[in-house]
Amino acid sequence: MTVSTPQDEMTPLFHDMICRFLEQEVTPHYEAWEEAGEMPRALWRQMGEAGLLGIDMPEALGGAGADVAITQLVIEEISRHGFGGLASAYNIHANIVMPYLLHIATPAQQQRWLPSMASGEAIGAIAMTEPGAGSDLAAIKTRARRTPAGWRLEGSKIFITNGQVADLVIVCAKTDPDAGAKGVSLFLVDTSLPGFTRGQPIKKIGQHASDTAELFFDGIELPEDALLGEEGAGFAYLMQELPRERLGVGAQALGAMQGALELTLEYVKERRAFGQRVGDFQNTRFTLAEVRADIDMGRAYLEKCMAQYRQGTMGPTEAAILKLRLTEMQCATANTCLQLFGGYGYTREYPISRFYLDARVQTIYAGTSEIMKEVVARSLLGKA
């Protein structure tokens, strides 16, 4: 027998609220944001007022004290509506940066940032990737050196989501260049400090509404308490928080798959060819059946991982499998669904084209599919 919990009863209420917010505050404007290559800061404040930021953060820090699954539900619904750029920006802010602060930061650091992030007054980003170092974090060149007053930060980062608008950036830097992974530390960088600059927005093939930037740290003087957690423990913190990051990417993939299916079902029921609905062709029916099966299988594994995450048992292998399979299925689903639109699918007039373009980066960020396969293989065979 399945016993319902108060959280189960809350989920439909949150779901309805999320959908109303998206339909009222996002849908009428999203195309313009895509064209502009950015979303207005006012949107973040609106999300804060609606209680969509910091959902599973403690109430004392500005959150709602809800279950982590509700945050994933927000990501999924944003993605289902076809707002891939917003989904990525939200994932970084509310599902990655805020949990880092909750799990690692001191009480003073939490009070400094979390309430304003929950209200949407402050926007968060995380900076790991560099021009010469992607998945290989041990190769990063950004350096933080001790000074009498704290730290001096030098270096640059690239492909940073929310980089153009962030008020706080969690920066991964080397504090001991001779210690390998054990020489990596994390820092809380207030972007109003002298020495912080942003490059021109990076133009991408998809997720246009989500800004992506190159960031420069030109001798930024940081106070002692800018260090997040312990010195030299940065890599361990990154590994600790990766499961949640990949939960968010999985939720984003699943939502996009569902959204693409819904668009395609609507289209093939109306579009006619050779005297019948496109949806009446066996190829169409079988294709959509496979998409539905992938969605249900993906949801089952996402829910399994969610349960493990709550229990503290979701490890890097499960996170890698989740990220690998769901993002690859997302790309395949977007491609399959677009094909059923024929020539119309290749036009920007039809939203399925945005699902297709927004999907592509999902197999790249948060660890490429190739890295995910390596993680899984090492769990099976051990490190060569």
* Residues with active-site annotation: 245
53 torsion bin: left (phi>0), alpha (psi -120 to 50), beta (else): beta
**10 Å Cβ neighbour count for 378?**
14
* Strand 212-223 relative to strand 227-228, pairing: unpaired
CA-to-CA dists, residue 265 to 77, 271, 289, 311, angstroms: 18, 10, 11, 37
> Closest Cα partner for 278 from 184, 202, 343?
343
Closest listed residue to residue 163, CA positions, set 106, 193, 218, 202: 202
Of the CA atoms within 13 Å of residue 266, those in its CB half-sphere come to 9
Measure the CA–CA gap between 23 and 326, rounded to whole angstroms.
26
Token readout for 15 is 């779901």
| 136-151: burial string, b at 16+ Cβ within 10 Å, e else | ebeebebbbeeeeebb
Residues 131/137/143/149 CA torsion (nearest 10 deg)? 130
| Burial tier of 292 (Cβ tally within 10 Å: 0-12, 13-18, 19+) | middle
Residue 273, strand partner residues:
276
CA 66 to chain centre: 19
